[in-house]
Amino acid sequence: MKIGRKINLTRFLLSVRGQFTRSRIVSVRSGWGSRCQLALRLLWRSISGDVFDSVKLPFFGSLAEACFIVDGNLLDRQKILRGIDIRTPCCRECQPCRLFEELGEPESFLLPSPIGDCAPKRRLQMNRDLGIRRFLYGMGALGILQAMCVVPAFCQIDRGAIAGRILDASGGVVPGATVTVTDKATGISITTPANESGEYQVLALIPSTYAVKVNAAGFGTVVQDGIVLHVQDRLEIDFTLKVGSVNQEVVVTAGEPLLQTQSADVGNVVDTARVNDLPLNGRRYADLALLEPGVQKFYAANNPAPDRFSVNGNLELQNNFLLNGIDNNSWSENLQEFSVQVVQPPPDAIAEFRVQTRTYSTEFGNSAGAVINATLKSGTNQYHGNLFEYIRNAVLEGNSWINNANHQPRGRFTQNQFGGTLGGPLIKNKTFFFGDFERFSNRQSTTVTSTVPTPLMKTGNFTELPYSLSDSSVTGQAGCVAGNIIQATSTTNQPCSDPVAAKLMTLLPDPNVASLMALQGTPGSWTKAPNYLFTTAVPDDVYSLDGRIDHTLDEKNRLFGSYSYRHLSRQDPPWTGNGVIGSGNFATQYRIHTQSLALGWTRTLSNTMVNDARFGFNRDYAHSDPVGVTLGKSQAQSLIGLTGIPDGPGSGGLPPIEINGLTRIGTSPWRPQYQISQAWNIIENLSWLKGSHSFKFGYQFLKRTDNFLDLRAPQGELQTDGIYTAGGAFGLADFLLGDVDGVHFTTPLVVHYFQPGHSFYAMDTWKTTPKLTLTYGVRYELFSPIMERKNNTTNFTPADGGGIVTAASNASGWFDRSLIHPDRNDFAPRLGFAYQLTNRLVWRGGYGVFYQHSNRIGSESLIQLNPPFLLDVQLNQGGANTVFQLKNGFPLGTIMGSGFDLTQLQLRAQDPNQRSSYVEQTSFGPEIELTGNTVLSVTHVGNWGRKMNRLRDYNQPHVTTFDRGCPVLQYPFANLNTVSNIDTFAGPGCASSGQHGFLEYASNDGNTDYNALEVSLRRRMAKGLGYSLSYTWSHGLANFGDNLTAGALPQNAYNYGAEMSNSNLDIRSRFVGNFIWDLPFGEGRRFLSEHNAASRWLGGWQLNGIVTLQTGSPYSVTAPNDGLMGFTHAVYADCIGNPFVGASNDPSSYTTAGFLINPAAFEAPAPGTFGTCQTSVCSSNSNLRNDCNYSFGRNSSTPSTIPTSRTLVPMFPRQGRLERSPTRLLPFWALIRAGRAIRGRYNSL
């Protein structure tokens, strides 16, 4: 074997039996290219334990066989075992270093000592008593690491690269030319020589403006200035040198290239100008992602977060947010912190960010959606900063839709958003700092609509109902209801009215909506429409800060560190001003603290090789408690008489009381609630350029944890449907009689779950010809299922009629702890191309597979929330029995006693053999440079989601006899139904219904299909005008909905094919345009360019805007759930006519509260049958959105200055701006029901 140059193999860290083991340095010879230092620091012990879940690495000999060459001889394992003496370069001046073995098991190997030191060797013990499968996993990991020795990446996550070729006037290469790349902002320079092919490359450059200088002996010097480098850019800057003196210098000012000729990725950079100047309602930089084609906002999403959006048909929670190259995703289990990002720096602190709606780089993974890659600003050699304040108040604000509909005046609105930034040098040309602070304060009046009983109803008089009540079927209450009036006593002379219910009625407010008050006392006038309005101003306060330090050790070593913190305090409004009864569904105080840390070290190992290491940590703390509640547990017992209320830390006030037809009384059923989620992120990249190949190889470690309390009804929840007197139509009569037919209670449990994951990736960007660039590679991801710190995990098994299995308290290994088999098959191939047909035309396309390892669908389906660790008890009764009477108190002892069985519990289960969800994506289309500043892009995008996670009731009953009046229903798992193991019951059309255990099951059988035509026209800033116009025409299908939306479970759990319909994210058409226009007046402009008073007053003005037009999102029409489908399954209505009112579907016609769709077009399905409507049956113009945000301001030409030791330095450019954000949005009521509810009417916020 031919001997090449010598290399040093530096510290190699291995995870061996969970021990952190380090080898000595070995100096060897190799046939590889130039001298380099290989920093292989992978396969070290992760925070959670061994890298491959207790898979121990095999013997070390394979790595020696693959990499170690000493004096031209391959060091094979046999030579090592025979103990051959070898003189390595580290030992030329001392005694030989000897490698030998100790016979027997386990095997031991000794490696040479460090250079110049032949001291006692360090022993590595590795047990090779492993099965073939573990051996292959270990060797696969080592193989990837070995490949990293020679083929790494051309740029890092939040950096860029400049590369090119040096030619002479005849087209010949100029080897050895000296290339110097200088950051114009910091003055830092990097020098590298061109290789024998005349090629050069400078890697891991911070986004900035650069100058590149090239000189070579016998040639004149050429400088190309003004080169703008963005995040993830790889700019090809070629030079042609002319014969002459080195002192002869030619300077060329470069223009930013319009066409992307080196990558198949779909996406654009949002640069500093657009980040700073475009009007943003709320000042969230991530909102600028909505400017890109394929990005769609679903304004009706449940639990909305401002940075939730769908990209190319992917789910809203599948995007990947990065900040300074480090994971910035919130991994909480249900977005309690109101954001999918951990920290959100203000736009003034963002240098730029790239929205990659589709990337074919294997460097990105762990999620299936877009990559939003942001970078904090860095300091420069000059001090720069700004102070800002944005003020909004009610003067320029419109009234809310609900206020207009009910003739209410505009309420209070005051919003202030202020802060500042500052950056500059700590040590000039070496160390730089940047920091920012922002404070947000909002006080906005909110009108809440509710439905409360009339004064007559509070006394037991129900003559206002449009139907007749029946006498109560509860034992002992015969004769209590007659003529729609509750009588004083029953036929057995027992009091009919419950004293607890009567006392509670005196605390409820009376209706105050004038139009409905006028109907009070009129027989048949009750409609369940909101009849009570309450307006209050609630606080919303946020403050945040960010800091970053960049330090250059020398030309080859650069460090950075950043820290971000964000605090939010918010209160949701109560629905009434009466604090005694609690605050209903909205009264919650939120306190959120988030923080993020990022550290990075970039080392240039050679002219073509760079090592980049990153560490990141983020933490989310979110806490929410009931507020506005003066009635604690003891007061509830003494003042109202409701005893036995479950008590716990953070709970207070009345438990939630659900009365069918009225707004919930008491506190929210989900309070108190808190979580502490954390994520550790380690990234190691090695970068190398070889000829026309740019290779990428790397490793990422990501560990997510979450400690949370997120349970419904920790202090109990009461339900009265009205099944005893009103056939389930209205519940107040039953409640006044004291009859409770449903109870929900969950024992408080704090879950501590975690999920470690490892990713390896390999990729090559190959410029096959000057016109064609290919990108190809593969990514391998290995994530564990979710595990609980104390192994508190229980899953359901369908074997033998159904049962549960619980993890052992001392379990180890991924499956034994999680009860889910990890998916070890997550290979994600990527392929892309860019072909430059002409100087003005590029065709780009690609295909890739992207895995999703975190679903973030709330506490649903988490099998860590199961018995025996958690008891989630739901009791329902019918016929002559109640769960309990109010006057007898909450039956906590009965609920938690030993008499209950699995019918009373909710179980959560997952498929133990589930696979990771993944998305296949393609894109194809041309990019055309129309003018020197304008480019047109037309792209077809396809997206197919497979094995997506979805929920269903695994114990939904089968209909075995299709009797529309009284079908016989059969459950799949009999012993989840009754103690006597009976597996059938009479359907809801019969006089009474049985119970069955609710088994919420998560499985990977969801599918999505999406196709879109995306068109964009972009003009970079030139002659005072820059704009971007994008249009997306798309159609999405899915057989499941947003899992955070109520009623997301399928109608028929045994027929998923019937669920395939329009996706709930299906927005057919969306247009977004934005522009920045420096008005052509003043010095240096087209008009009034003279230096005079007029040019000073009229110059510097700027008009900016964002225009959004989109069709509405779809919605479903549901029907009452009569028990056939299970507790929370969606039940669709029967479609029998045109859903639109009259002949018009123009949303402008809906100006008053009332019907949104034609109620005659739907009806509730007959008992024992499924509805004929599909999910998302109504769409288009039901809730279209038209936004036009614009700003008009003036930039001062005389910025503020600060003194330094020598001079005054410009620091704060002065700007005044007026922004407006009018929005035309028809309010969206997410769920429309047919049947018992007011059909087709929107009746609450």
Question: How many CA atoms lie less than 13 Å away from 892 in the CB half-sphere?
Answer: 15
Q: Average pLDDT, stretch 563-573? A: 89
* Residues in Cβ contact with 144 at an 8 Å cutoff, skipping those fewer than 6 apart: 697, 699, 760, 762, 780
Asked whether the predicted pLDDT for residue 807 surpasses 90, the reply is yes
Question: How many CA atoms lie less than 13 Å away from 837 in the CB half-sphere?
Answer: 10
d(CA 1218, CA 887): 60
* Residues in Cβ contact with 1188 at an 8 Å cutoff, skipping those fewer than 6 apart: 1105, 1106, 1107, 1108, 1222
Helix, coil or strand: residue 457: helix
Residue 931 burial (10 A CB sphere; 0-12, 13-18, 19+)? exposed
* Structure confidence at residue 1196 (pLDDT): 62
* Structure confidence at residue 253 (pLDDT): 62
DSSP state of 636: I
E strands, 95-151, in order: 97-98, 107-111, 122-126
Q: Are 601 and 684 in contact (CB under 8 A)?
A: no
* Amino acid identity for residue 5 in this structure: R
Written as one string, the DSSP assignment of 173-218 is B-TT-EEEEEETTT--EEEEE--TTSEEEEEEEPSEEEEEEEE-TT
DSSP state of 664: P
Residue 579 burial (10 A CB sphere; 0-12, 13-18, 19+)? middle
What secondary structure, in 3-state letters, does 243-271 show?
ECCCCCEEEEECCCCCCCCCCCCEEEEEC
* Amino acid identity for residue 654 in this structure: L
Residue 716 backbone class (left: φ over 0; alpha: ψ -120 to 50; beta: rest): left
d(CA 1097, CA 1137): 63
Which tops the pLDDT comparison, 1055 or 1077?
1077
Q: Could you give phi then psi for residue 599, rounded to 5 degrees?
A: -130, 140
d(CA 125, CA 1131): 62
Written as one string, the DSSP assignment of 829-869 is EEEEEEEEEETTEEEEEEEEEEEE-----TTTT-TTS-TTT
Q: Are 368 and 852 in contact (CB under 8 A)?
A: yes
Would you state the structure tokens that stand for residue 901, as one six-digit string?
Answer: 């069985």
| Cα 469 off chain centre by | 49
* Residues in Cβ contact with 1041 at an 8 Å cutoff, skipping those fewer than 6 apart: 1047, 1048, 1063, 1064, 1175, 1176
* Structure confidence at residue 630 (pLDDT): 44
Q: Are strands 717-720 and 657-659 parallel, antiparallel or unpaired?
A: parallel
d(CA 863, CA 362): 32
Give 1177-1203 pLDDT, tens digit per residue.
776 554 566 777 878 877 765 544 444
Which tops the pLDDT comparison, 132 or 427?
427
Of the listed ranges 76-85, 160-169, 915-924, 1163-1172, the one predicted with least confidence = 76-85
* Residues in Cβ contact with 133 at an 8 Å cutoff, skipping those fewer than 6 apart: none
Would you state the structure tokens that stand for residue 12, as one six-digit string?
Answer: 């190699």
Q: Are 878 and 788 in contact (CB under 8 A)?
A: no
The confidence band for 578, taking pLDDT boundaries of 50, 70 and 90, is low
Q: Could you give phi then psi for residue 1122, rounded to 5 degrees?
A: -90, 15
Q: Are 290 and 309 in contact (CB under 8 A)?
A: yes
SS3 content of the chain, % helix, strand, coil (to 5): 10, 45, 45
Q: Are 209 and 233 in contact (CB under 8 A)?
A: no
Global pTM? 0.77
551-566 b/e (C-beta count within 10 Å ≥ 16 → b): ebeeeeebebbbbbbb
d(CA 1006, CA 908): 18
Give 258-288 pLDDT, tens digit per residue.
777 777 777 778 877 888 888 887 788 888 8
Tokens 């929210």 belong to 668
* Structure confidence at residue 226 (pLDDT): 86
Q: Are 974 and 981 in contact (CB under 8 A)?
A: yes
* Structure confidence at residue 420 (pLDDT): 94
* Structure confidence at residue 1222 (pLDDT): 57
- Which domains does the chain possess? 6-148 (no CATH), 160-257 (2.60.40.1120)
> Please, what is the Cα angle at 402 between 317 and 730, to 5 degrees?
85
Of the listed ranges 181-185, 866-870, 1191-1195, the one predicted with least confidence = 1191-1195
The confidence band for 66, taking pLDDT boundaries of 50, 70 and 90, is very low
d(CA 949, CA 966): 34
569: closest CA among 586, 588, 553, 545? 588
Q: Which residues pair with 458 in a beta bridge?
A: none
* Residues in Cβ contact with 554 at an 8 Å cutoff, skipping those fewer than 6 apart: none
The alpha carbons of the chain give a radius of gyration, in whole angstroms, of 34
Would you state the structure tokens that stand for residue 1227, as one six-digit string?
Answer: 């309010």
Q: Which helix (H) or strand (E) holds 516?
A: helix 514-517
Percent of the chain with pLDDT over 90: 30
Give 355-392 pLDDT, tens digit per residue.
888 778 898 888 888 888 899 999 999 999 999 888 88
* Residues in Cβ contact with 683 at an 8 Å cutoff, skipping those fewer than 6 apart: 157, 325, 326, 612, 613, 614, 615, 616, 698, 699, 700, 701
d(CA 207, CA 211): 13
* Structure confidence at residue 927 (pLDDT): 93
DSSP state of 576: S
57: closest CA among 42, 76, 74? 42
d(CA 1114, CA 1037): 11
* Amino acid identity for residue 824 in this structure: R
Give 775-794 pLDDT, tens digit per residue.
999 999 999 999 999 999 99
Of the listed ranges 16-20, 986-990, 1080-1084, the one predicted with least confidence = 16-20
Give 1-12 pLDDT, tens digit per residue.
333 333 333 333
The confidence band for 1232, taking pLDDT boundaries of 50, 70 and 90, is very low
> Please, what is the Cα angle at 977 between 976 and 978, to 5 degrees?
115
436: closest CA among 351, 374, 345? 345
* Structure confidence at residue 1217 (pLDDT): 66
Q: Average pLDDT, stretch 1063-1075? A: 90
* Structure confidence at residue 204 (pLDDT): 82
* Structure confidence at residue 645 (pLDDT): 80
Q: Are 696 and 539 in contact (CB under 8 A)?
A: no
Which tops the pLDDT comparison, 1069 or 1154?
1069
Asked whether the predicted pLDDT for residue 680 surpasses 90, the reply is yes
Give 67-100 pLDDT, tens digit per residue.
333 333 333 333 333 333 333 333 333 333 332 2
720: closest CA among 741, 737, 744? 741
* Residues in Cβ contact with 818 at an 8 Å cutoff, skipping those fewer than 6 apart: 784, 785, 786, 787, 793, 807
* Structure confidence at residue 1091 (pLDDT): 74
Q: Average pLDDT, stretch 421-450? A: 92
* Structure confidence at residue 1227 (pLDDT): 46
* Structure confidence at residue 784 (pLDDT): 95
Question: How many CA atoms lie less than 13 Å away from 99 in the CB half-sphere?
Answer: 27
